[in-house]
Structure 1
Amino acid sequence: MGLLGILLGLGLLVWFAYRGWSVLLLAPLSALIASFLSGEPLLANWTQTFMGSAASFVGQFFPLFLLGALFGKLMEDSGSVSSIADFMTEKLGAQRAILAVVLAGAIVTYGGVSLFVALFVLAPMAEALFRVADIPRRLMPPAIALGTFTFTMMALPGTPAIQNAIPMPFFGTTPFAAPGLGIIASAIMLGFGLWWLAGAEARARLAGEGFGDGAAGVNAHLDDPLLRERATTAREFDPAEIAHGHVSTDRPSIILAALPLVLVIVVNLLMSFVVLPSLDFSFLAEERWGGVPFAAVSGVWSVAVALIVAILATLALNWRRLPKLRETMDAGANASVLPIFSVASLVGFGAVVAALPAFELVRDWVLSIEGGPLVSLAVATNILAALTGSASGGLTIALDALGPTFLARAGELGIDPALLHRVAVMSAGTLDSLPHSGAVVTLLAVCGATPKQSYLDIVMVAIVGAIVALVAVIALGSVVGSF
């Protein structure tokens, strides 16, 4: 009955979440169902296990959700994201429309702009370019997905994406874990995706298929409450706050627009390898600071400081372009709240499941997978990200339940924790792009496309390409180790 309870609880969570029910309600309810069928105490599992784990996640990562959402909103309202999109349009033009969209998305997301902020700016850019180039509208979502969902979120070293931060407290790593393997994986994903999209464009031209008309224009469904509930479990920005604030019509130059993005990467690098390692943090061992090792917090601190510096730079460079600064900052701060509590609820559900006696069967099955801890970690994270439709939620559940076990087994085999980090992050970013994913649903909505029109191409650039890169990283890492 215990295993049945786990499967039933998970099934109800996935089924109703896809239909737009709030995860804030579904996650504890599903956890209680799993506990009841396992004969475990209900209230203790809710208030102690569920809430304890959810609170721990919020305590660890709310600074990054808050700063990331605030930075994204400031970049949007200052016109900086639009300025970068305009620059790529001007330099590459309609002749290379797909490449322009992919690179624009990659630049802003690697620089720390929240995915959903990027989507709402990139969709109009893509529509304009694709219309002029007469490329089918259905290829807009996969082009945007390639630049925003894939290598900049899970492979490029130093990316400030939340899923790249989640393994750091578990493995004692930095945002730049396994940089060489991350760069190789990024090249594979980008190359495979561009190859596929070039072929799709060529096939469309041979068939005489042009831009066509969408059932709705870009950003036409942003007030859909179902869209909001799905989206907030997927990424760190609440789409409802996009409409708040005030977007400047006076856009900064490309240098001013790009400078905060550069600062995120540079400051993150300096904090990770120069500043923080040179300071004495032995006081963290004291009880008043939680008795945590420095490695458990250094990665989060590095990303947080990088985002703070970028926020201050954005304010300084665009002060006159932000006439309604309070509204902009309120919207950015508010945009972080629902996503982190939604993901924390998924984490709480995972903690309850992991504490049930029947979960030992699941753990034994995962650890028995052939190929060692890298393969079993990849499989477990992929499955959980696929079921929840959330890279961050699936990754945290996997690491909460199995992270110490994977780390111990890796230590026995001489596997660098940095390699575990990179495999875990990449695994979270593959099957999280199934049809029920909030990010996919949002992307299709803002582009005015349907799953029937665009989903196959999204699968190829965001799932197949990512899996090829993941296999390459596991194979290389198994042979030569982390680098």
Structure 2
Amino acid sequence: MDVLVIVLSLTFLVIMAYRGFSVILFAPLAALGAVLFIDPAAIGPVYGAIFMEKLVTFVKNFLPIFLLGAVFGKVIELSGNSKAISAAVINLLGSKRAQLVIVITCALLTYGGVSLNVVVFAVYPFAAEMFRQGNIPKRLIPGTIALGAFTFTMDSFPGSPQVQNIIPTTFFHTDTWAAPWLGTIGGLMIFATGMFYLDSRRRKAAALGEGYGDNHIHEPAAPNPDEKLPNTWIALLPLAMVFGLNYLFGKMIPQLYGDATYTITLAGLAKPIPVTIASNSTIWAVELALIAGIVTVILTSYKTVLPKFSAGSKQAINGALLAVMNSASEYGYGAVMAALPGFIIVAETLRAIPNPLINEAVSITVLAGLTGSAIGGLSIALGAMADNFIAAAHAANIPLEVFHRIASMASGGMDTLPHNGAVITLLTVTGLTHRQSYGDIFAITCIKTVMAGFTIALFYMTGIV
């Protein structure tokens, strides 16, 4: 019965998300509905002490990264850099390879520091135009963007500045470059398998005579062929800055502070406040790198960016707040689920898996599926089980860097169920429904999950890190 309560709550949340309702509203309703079946008197206390507490903790930790990533993405868009990058990829790969062009463009932007939620807004106009010209069904656009933005550059490739690659650093005391070879090989496998799937879907649609389609909504205006675009290398410079400075700051900050803890001793404080450097240095490194990226875009394209910066930054901040609240609500929902008796049964069942890496991967991907959030599932799983994973790593003589990489990759597996915030944003922006396009997103999700298992097998066969 206890496990059934969690299943019913999750089913309700998935259905509401599938029908287009906001998870910000329905995540707390689904969570408190589950509490109602267990202990009705606990509804108020659970809402305040668990759901809202975790929601606020998530916002405290990650709001700056969401905001800076959104603003960085917006100035990349306003400067014309995203158009220049897309044009360069088109010139390199050819306009007929629409799906490959969009995947590569998304990958460049996300790996360069643009928030994956923002990438959707930046890339969709080009995707729609290229798919229209190639007479490829519009319903395939979400799956294509999902492969480029939500998979290998999100959590597989080393150095990714996305949140899913940052969270494990606070538990394992690693950095975002953990297990570089393992992550790179696993990421390339995801890319290759995903492209094979997308191309097979395109060929099947062509064989049935299906084209772009008519009567679509949210259709972007066609790009202006006479628009003057920035130099490609200048457009790529801010992305390279974020990528390089993320690595540099990640090494410099711990050396700068020296001690494991910094104590704030300002005169106005009632008592000193200790701050753990190890759990914050990676986050600070990404934030500083994003700030440097924003400044670089403004300096190289100030004539284009500054006149539109006020309105553009407001739009970016609104989008970032929506994205962070979606994720924070799912995190709060997952925390409530983790407090229920049924979760103990689920957790104990998962702990029974003998292999430590498989245990970690299954635990995280199941929790990511329950919460509908890679961030939520990753945070809850590591918050509850990190000590067990670390002990298992030492016992099996497995580097913690491997646990970091598998944790990140597993979080991006089954997280993209219909109630996932990024999925909802992707479908909303493209003007498509779950019924039209979710099947391809789910297929990419399954590919991602299988490749996480392949990466574990690769480690055991070769010992590569």
> TM-score, normalization: structure 1?
0.84
Q: Secondary structure at the match of 2:376?
A: helix
What's the CA shift for 1:120? 2.9
| Cα distance in 2, alignment partners of residues 463 and 21 from structure 1 | 22
Seen in structure 2, the aligned counterparts of structure 1 residues 408 and 197 have a Cα distance that, compared at 3 Å, is same
| Cα distance in 1, alignment partners of residues 49 and 143 from structure 2 | 42
- Identify the residue that residue 388 of structure 1 maps to in structure 2: 371
- Identify the residue that residue 476 of structure 1 maps to in structure 2: 458
* 1:389-443 C-alpha deviation (Å, 9 max, x unpaired): 3222222232233333323333332222222221122112122333444434443
The aligned amino acid for 2:353 is: I
- Identify the residue that residue 95 of structure 1 maps to in structure 2: 96
1:429 to 403, 409, 412: 412
- Indicate conservation of the 8 Å contact 2:103/2:148, yes or no: yes
- Indicate conservation of the 8 Å contact 1:214/1:449, yes or no: no
Given the alignment of the two structures, is residue 368 of structure 1 paired with residue 369 of structure 2, yes or no?
A: no
* 1:14-51 C-alpha deviation (Å, 9 max, x unpaired): 33344344434433344434444433744333322333
Given the alignment of the two structures, is residue 209 of structure 1 paired with residue 209 of structure 2, yes or no?
A: yes
- Indicate conservation of the 8 Å contact 2:361/2:407, yes or no: yes
Q: Secondary structure at the match of 1:324?
A: helix
Given the alignment of the two structures, is residue 60 of structure 1 paired with residue 61 of structure 2, yes or no?
A: yes
- Indicate conservation of the 8 Å contact 1:204/1:210, yes or no: yes
**Unaligned stretches of 5+ residues in structure 2:** 221-226, 266-271
What's the CA shift for 1:454? 4.5
* 1:456-483 C-alpha deviation (Å, 9 max, x unpaired): 44444x2233123211211123345461
Q: Once superposed, what is the RMSD of the aligned Cα atoms?
A: 2.8
| Cα distance in 1, alignment partners of residues 128 and 315 from structure 2 | 26
What's the CA shift for 1:375? 1.4
- Indicate conservation of the 8 Å contact 1:218/1:447, yes or no: yes
| Cα distance in 2, alignment partners of residues 299 and 185 from structure 1 | 23
| Cα distance in 1, alignment partners of residues 323 and 383 from structure 2 | 19
Q: Secondary structure at the match of 2:159?
A: coil
Alignment of 1:3-402 (within 5 A): 3-39=3-39, 41-205=42-206, 207=207, 209=209, 211-216=211-216, 218-219=218-219, 251-273=229-251, 275-282=252-259, 284=261, 286=263, 291-322=274-305, 323-370=307-354, 372-402=355-385
Q: Which moved more, 1:58-67 or 1:84-93?
A: 84-93
- Indicate conservation of the 8 Å contact 1:115/1:148, yes or no: yes
Identity of aligned residues (%): 39
Seen in structure 2, the aligned counterparts of structure 1 residues 94 and 217 have a Cα distance that, compared at 3 Å, is farther
| Cα distance in 1, alignment partners of residues 21 and 204 from structure 2 | 39
- Identify the residue that residue 236 of structure 1 maps to in structure 2: none
- Indicate conservation of the 8 Å contact 2:23/2:419, yes or no: no
| Cα distance in 2, alignment partners of residues 447 and 344 from structure 1 | 23
Seen in structure 2, the aligned counterparts of structure 1 residues 17 and 99 have a Cα distance that, compared at 3 Å, is closer
- Indicate conservation of the 8 Å contact 2:257/2:277, yes or no: no
- Identify the residue that residue 420 of structure 1 maps to in structure 2: 403
| Cα distance in 2, alignment partners of residues 440 and 7 from structure 1 | 21
* 1:137-173 C-alpha deviation (Å, 9 max, x unpaired): 4443333322222111121111111211222212222
Seen in structure 2, the aligned counterparts of structure 1 residues 197 and 478 have a Cα distance that, compared at 3 Å, is same
- Indicate conservation of the 8 Å contact 1:167/1:421, yes or no: yes
- Indicate conservation of the 8 Å contact 1:127/1:218, yes or no: no
* 1:294-345 C-alpha deviation (Å, 9 max, x unpaired): 3211211111111111011111111110203222222223322232233222
* 1:251-301 C-alpha deviation (Å, 9 max, x unpaired): 42212211111111100111223x124223427254867545432112111
Q: Secondary structure at the match of 2:279?
A: helix
- Indicate conservation of the 8 Å contact 1:214/1:448, yes or no: no
- Indicate conservation of the 8 Å contact 2:14/2:417, yes or no: no
What's the CA shift for 1:69? 1.2
Seen in structure 2, the aligned counterparts of structure 1 residues 27 and 139 have a Cα distance that, compared at 3 Å, is closer
What's the CA shift for 1:369? 2.4
**Unaligned stretches of 5+ residues in structure 1:** 221-248
Q: Secondary structure at the match of 1:296?
A: coil
Seen in structure 2, the aligned counterparts of structure 1 residues 203 and 46 have a Cα distance that, compared at 3 Å, is closer
- Indicate conservation of the 8 Å contact 1:418/1:482, yes or no: no
* 1:115-142 C-alpha deviation (Å, 9 max, x unpaired): 3432233233233333333444444333
What's the CA shift for 1:176? 1.2
What's the CA shift for 1:88? 1.7
The aligned amino acid for 1:419 is: V
Q: Which moved more, 1:277-286 or 1:387-396?
A: 277-286
| Cα distance in 1, alignment partners of residues 338 and 118 from structure 2 | 34
| Cα distance in 1, alignment partners of residues 253 and 46 from structure 2 | 38
> TM-score, normalization: structure 2?
0.87
Q: Secondary structure at the match of 1:433?
A: coil
- Indicate conservation of the 8 Å contact 2:154/2:165, yes or no: yes
- Indicate conservation of the 8 Å contact 2:254/2:277, yes or no: no
- Indicate conservation of the 8 Å contact 2:368/2:414, yes or no: yes
- Indicate conservation of the 8 Å contact 2:353/2:359, yes or no: yes
